[in-house]
Chains A and B, each alone.
Chain A
Amino acid sequence: MYQFLRNKLGNRIANALIAVWYIVLCVLIYYFNSVPAGNFRYLNY
């Protein structure tokens, strides 16, 4: 994806876009991290 953006939009815009994308993901992970994990039992294998 990064490669694609760089080719299409140039270095700076690609960097900015990808940074925004990662930040959005980080914030979403933070907000959703207390949702219980359904059927899957971590550390149980």
Chain B
Amino acid sequence: MNKPPLYLWLICALISFSVILILNIYSKDIRRYFFSKPIGIAFDRVNEDSADIRVLILGSSYVREALSDPNVMSKQISKNDRNISYSFVKLIMGGAGLDDFVDNAYLFKKIERYDPHYILLQESTVFFYNEQKIEALGLRRDLSPRMIRTWLSGSRESYIRQQSNHSNTFINDSSQLATDIVLDRIVRPDVSMLKDFLDKIDAELILLHIPLPGQLESLKDSLRNTEDYVNNFKRIESKSDIHMFKYDKSMAFKNYYDQAHMNDMGEKEYTNWFLTKLHEFHLSKVNIQNN
């Protein structure tokens, strides 16, 4: 007998199936467990009393690559205006959706202690981060194989290579891209979640738009029906106290190292834009209060 008996195959099939199922169901808790460590580290770094304005930034790896480190940003913004000092906390969870933040009690404990003036939330975590196929199974969103692959390899890019003058860029093939950013029926539940989030915090909530490269941004617009999207968002804006920092210019491909993550050139450009925008926003707010 040089091949395993048949009952062994049955056992293997059953066990593999259950292992995959269990991993899928508990992947969220596993993720949360690993996420609690960065939360602790990020908040321990800042000195609570030193800054006038405290800013918390929540997002996925898009934010990680698009914005500079907190202390770099603090220094840079103080160059422009020496009267106000800012402190930043940047909290990153790879592939995050809003539910990753909303359900996290540990995070809110930390937020309470830090008491930020502004909370910036990556816009795409609210509005279009979803994988349709997984939804169709009726299971949790982050059972996605892609998610776990991200842990294993630390990256999720694939393979149509694009040469640019400055760096190699990887871009997803367009069919895959389409499933990533299609937005239809998911908006509503996530907006209610946003409300939950607002109830829990005592700060100004700003949605932060991290642009894709120009061409892909327009592809995304064509997929999600931008007009509806904008109307939807205006409705939310009028009813609540949410604002949005939208990056209106078109980002060049050379500023990315894959289809969505910026390289250092993109980071510089985007961070500059972001800090100016934030400062302007803060000043206008102060003006309104004074008047």
Contact = CB atoms under 8 A, between A and B. Distances in A.
A18 B4 contact: yes
Nearest to A29: B16
Given A15-B4, A18-B4, A36-B176, A23 B149 contact: no
A38 B170 CA distance: 13
Name B's interface SS. helix
Given A2-B4, A3-B2, A18-B4, A31 B149 contact: yes
Interface string A18-38: 110011001100111111101
B201 interface: no
B136 interface: no
Contacts of B1: 2-3, 6
Contacts of B19: 23, 27
Name A's interface SS. helix
Interface residues of B, number: 24
A2 B159 CA distance: 37
Interface string B1-31: 1111100110111011001100100000000
Interface string B131-148: 000000000000001101
Interface in B87-108: none
Interface of A: 2-3, 6, 15, 18-19, 22-23, 26-27, 30-36, 38
26 contacts: A2-B1, A2-B3, A2-B4, A3-B1, A6-B1, A15-B4, A15-B5, A15-B8, A18-B4, A19-B11, A22-B12, A22-B16, A23-B12, A23-B15, A23-B16, A26-B12, A30-B20, A30-B145, A31-B148, A31-B152, A32-B145, A32-B149, A34-B149, A35-B158, A36-B158, A36-B159
- List the 8 closest A-B pairs by CB distance, nearest first: A26-B16, A3-B2, A22-B12, A36-B158, A23-B16, A34-B145, A31-B148, A19-B12
